Amino acid sequence: MTYTIQNELKRIKEYYAGDPLQKRFSALICGESGSGKTFLLRSCRRPIHVDSFDPGGTKCLRKWIESGDIIADTQWEGEDPLEPNRFDKWKKTIELRLQIGYFNSFGTYCLDSATSWANSAMYSQTNGAPPDWGKDYVPVKHDMTIYITKLMSLPCDFILTGHLNKEVKVLSYDRKTGVRTEEVRYRFLTIGKAVTTIPLLFDELYVMKTKETSQGLERVIVTEAQGEFAARSRLKGSGILNAEEPADIKAILKKIGLNWEDKARLDFIDPNLAM
């Protein structure tokens, strides 16, 4: 093809139209313990695969696990800090799954949660010894970033759950009355500078929040910065998403014009054994 302005523009437009990364959904969903981050997975595109690093974290999904809609791999739970092996084994397993096209059958992949996953990565780096800032944090952050980047290329939606770190900044203090004014912020909890670099890899940064209504407690997803919460959406467009949305991932996908439909149910029968 002759290299002209028109041909180059055509090539760029065709590449964009066929680029699967432009149609992907990747979200870092943070919240305090008990806010419903893991339970939210029931609203994702099915089938759903969960790599659980949080001990007992998938118990709330038992109904969907038993039905086969959710595959929960819990072998990563319960890392021994003094004899760590989960993180290295997880990396090898991810590489194998990518080679065999394992994720082609899934609508959603979830890594639950970033806190326990990062701890496992650090245990692997230090073999249970206290981490050294200059020696250990940079390699671990690098390893985490590499594997999240790999997971961004999956042929399914990708969700990473995370906890929140409460930061309190004293703005003023009256010595006479003892009254002080504080600024409270909640930010993604992880190790070192990964607190900044990891969120940048995701299209969506959501916060799960519980609010009181006349009908009782309601869980919502915060999609944009609100006071103490840091949240954003690259996909919301011009007012497509509200600042708070119902806790339903498929409803959000449908609203922003991405694929929200489930994939076919999983077939657990090995054709080679059925012959």
pLDDT band (50, 70, 90) for residue 212:
confident
pTM of the model: 0.87
Q: At a CB cut-off of 8 Å and minimum separation 6, what does 81 contact?
A: 123, 128
Q: How big is the CA angle at 235 (ends 209 and 190), to the nearest 5 degrees? A: 50
**CA distance to 23, 176, 217, 218, per residue, from 211 (Å):** 31, 36, 6, 5
pLDDT confidence of residue 184: 59
The closest alpha carbon to 131, from 191, 194, 196, belongs to: 191
**What confidence tens digit (pLDDT) does each residue in 50-62 have?**
999 999 999 999 9
Are 70 and 50 within 8 A, CB to CB?
yes
pLDDT confidence of residue 238: 60
pLDDT at 217 over 70: yes
Topology of domain 32-274, CATH: Rossmann fold (3.40.50)
pLDDT confidence of residue 265: 92
Average pLDDT of the chain, as a whole number: 88
N-terminal to C-terminal alpha carbon distance within the chain? 50
How far is the C-alpha of 100 from the C-alpha of 256, rounded, in Å? 31
φ and ψ of 49, to 5 deg = -110, 130
The domain ranges of the chain are: 32-274
**Other CB atoms closer than 10 Å to residue 224's CB: what's the count?**
17
pLDDT confidence of residue 163: 93
